[in-house]
A and B are shown apart, each in its own frame.
Chain A
């Protein structure tokens, strides 16, 4: 049982480049989330997916897009990276209904630097 996995672990981009962060969970959870973590700001929600086929904006969605590919996978895309997107990105999942698993399970994170 791997839990939540994220790839890549590290990435350096130049301004204007694009990339996709991948996330997968094997816990059969319905909901998945993307956060960014910046010093002194805690975790801020970028996008979330309450169930397969649905996505919604979180607190800081500008500059990002997401795809819920299937129940297991939820990807985050930066179309044109900016230095302000330098951050650590975390994926998480839970099942607030049905299983009643309100707590979120987190992946190990992706450290992204945009130069």
Chain B
């Protein structure tokens, strides 16, 4: 079975500060991991993904995430927050035995203060 836990339903940072959104997963098979972003009143957009290979993955809008198997984590970071980063962020996990289904975390709402 697979599951995802996102620590913190709300995170607030100042513009220019580091963004760190935490995601821990459990999986009985090698995981495929995803971060999605949802802007108000819109659908979900893929930020980045890890399937195999390099454990540090870079995504759109300056975000990156590192797959740490020993910590079962896939935290999302951005060195310097911008006002336009305010949105809800979802971590998701899948695997070869999931038939393409994703298991989502409950989401973290990011606020950026001027």
Residue ranges of A at the interface with B (Cβ–Cβ < 8 Å): 4, 30-31, 33, 40-43, 45, 48, 50, 58, 90, 92, 94-97, 102-109
The 6 closest A-B pairs by CB, nearest first: A96-B100, A106-B43, A42-B106, A106-B44, A42-B104, A31-B100
Q: Which residues of A contact B46 (CB under 8 A)?
A: 103, 105
Query: What are 17 A-B contacts defined by CB distance under 8 Å?
Result: A31-B99, A40-B9, A42-B104, A42-B105, A43-B44, A48-B101, A58-B101, A96-B98, A96-B99, A96-B100, A97-B100, A103-B46, A104-B100, A104-B102, A106-B44, A106-B45, A108-B42
For the A-B complex with A42-B104, A90-B44 known, give 12 more contacts whose Cβ atoms are closer than 8 Å. A33-B101, A40-B106, A42-B90, A42-B106, A96-B98, A97-B100, A102-B32, A102-B100, A103-B34, A105-B46, A106-B44, A107-B43
B94 interfacial contact with A, CB 8 Å: yes
Interchain pairs with CB closer than 8 A, number: 55
Would you call the interface of chain A mostly helix, strand, loop, or mixed? strand
Interface footprint category on B: 20 to 34
Contact B43 A108 (CB under 8 A): yes
Binding site for A on B (CB under 8 A): 9, 32, 34, 36, 41-46, 49, 51, 90, 94, 98-102, 104-107
Which residues of the other chain, A, contact B42 by a CB distance below 8 angstroms?
A: 108-109
Would A90 and B100 count as touching, CB distance under 8 A? Answer: no
Q: Smallest distance from the beta carbon of B40 to chain A beta carbons, Å?
A: 11
